[in-house]
Amino acid sequence: MLRTALDWVVSEVQRSRSLAVAIHHTWSDLSNNRIGCLTADMFQGLTNLTKLNLSGNIISTMDPGVFQELPSLKLVNFNSDYLSCDCGLRWVPGFFRSSSARLGVETLCAYPRSLKGKPLRGLRESQLSCDGPLELHTLLLLPSQRQVVFKGDRLPFHCTATLVDDVTTLHWRHNGQLVTSDPEMGVQLENSVLHDCTFITSELILFNVHVEAKGEWECVVSTGRGNTSRSVEILVLENSASFCPEDKVVNNRGEFRWPRTLAGITSHQYCLQLRYPSMSMEGGIEQKKASRQCDSGNWQEADYSDCHYTNGITRVLHTFILVSSF
C-alpha cells in the first residue's frame, strides 16, 4: 500500500532522488501532505503512473516540465489554497493540449482574486499573467496589534510572506529607516528562511528594548513584481511610567468606572452604564461617551457633557433650558 506522509516522501526523495523505488502502482495519492516543492526528477522511473493526486498541499506554482517523466499520465490534480494562476503557470494550457494527460476540473485558482474559484484547465495563456497588482496569499506580521512594552523588555517580531519569485526578499524598517543588526541597540536580525518553495520568513528580535524603539516597525516584502508591507506600532515606557489609579465616579449623569490608565492617555466610558451588559441600545444608535484625561498620574476633570442626566425631571429641565437658549 502506498504511504503518503510527507516525511516519507521527503526521505525517499533524499535517499534515491526518485519515487520509483517505492511506487509500483498506476496511481499515486500524495494529497494533504504540505508538499510545496515538486521537480521532475522526483518522478523518474514512474513510467506506468496514470493518476496523480497532489491536491490539498501548499503548492502555489509549478515549474514547466515537472510531469515530463510521467509518459503514461492520464489525470492529475493539484488543487491548493495557495495556487496562483499567473505567469508561473502559463505553460499549463499548452502542456495539457499536447499531452494525453488531463488536468482535473477540481484544480481551482486561489489567486489572483479575479480568477479565484475558476478551474485552471479552462484558462487561456493570456489570462495567466503577472501584469496585475501584486497579490500575496500570505503576509503575516506577529505581533499584529499595537504593543506597549517597558524599557529593557525583549520583543520578537516574526514576518511570513509569499515566495513570489527568485528575487523575493524580506527586510525591516523602523520609522522608515532600514533596520540592520545592532547589538549596542539590542537589535538582532536573523537571516530569511525559505519554506517549501511557498513561504519566506524573517525574524527580528529586540532583546533589550530602548526608548528609541518606539514608533512603527515594518516588514517589507520586495519582489520582481512590486513591493508591499505590514507594520505595527510600538510604545515604549520607562520603568517609572506613571498611571492613574482605578476610580469610580457617581454623579447626576450616571455611574462611571475609570480603569487604571497610562499617563498621557485619554480614557472613554459609555454614558449609559447598563445593568445588564447583554442589552444594547435600540436601533443600533451609537452610544455617547464621557472622556477623562490621565495627566502625569493624576486624573483630570472628566467631560460628561454628552451624557444625559439620570434623573427624569432633571433631564427634562435640562432639555427645556437647551431649547429655550435657541
What's the alpha-carbon Rg for the chain, to the nearest Å? 30
Q: Is 221 exposed, middle or buried (0-12, 13-18, 19+ CB in 10 A)?
A: buried
Let me know if residue 325 belongs to a domain: no
Q: Is the pLDDT of residue 310 over 90?
A: no
Q: Is the pLDDT of residue 81 over 60?
A: yes
Largest CA distance in the chain: 94
Domain boundary at 237, 267, 289, which? 237
Let me know if residue 134 belongs to a domain: no
Q: Are 22 and 112 members of one domain?
A: yes
Q: Are 116 and 165 members of one domain?
A: no
Which residues constitute the domain of residue 228?
A: 139-237
Q: What is the pLDDT of residues 186-208, one digit of tens each?
A: 999 999 999 999 999 999 999 99
Report the CATH number that the domain containing residue 153 is assigned in CATH.
Answer: 2.60.40.10
Q: Are 206 and 288 members of one domain?
A: no
Q: Is the pLDDT of residue 241 over 60?
A: yes
The x, y and z cell numbers of residue 20, run together, are: 520509483
Q: Are 39 and 112 members of one domain?
A: yes
Q: What is the pLDDT of residues 154-193, one digit of tens each?
A: 999 999 999 999 999 999 999 999 999 999 889 999 999 9
CA distance linking residue 217 with residue 209, whole number of Å: 13
The x, y and z cell numbers of residue 30, run together, are: 500524495
Q: Are 115 and 56 members of one domain?
A: yes
With 0.75 as the threshold, say if the pTM is over it.
no
Q: Are 121 and 148 members of one domain?
A: no
Q: Give the model's confidence band at 309: pLDDT under 50 very low, under 70 low, under 90 confident, else very high.
A: confident
Q: Are 26 and 48 members of one domain?
A: yes
Report the CATH number that the domain containing residue 116 is assigned in CATH.
Answer: 3.80.10.10
Let me know if residue 246 belongs to a domain: no
Q: Are 37 and 112 members of one domain?
A: yes
Q: Is the pLDDT of residue 247 over 50?
A: yes
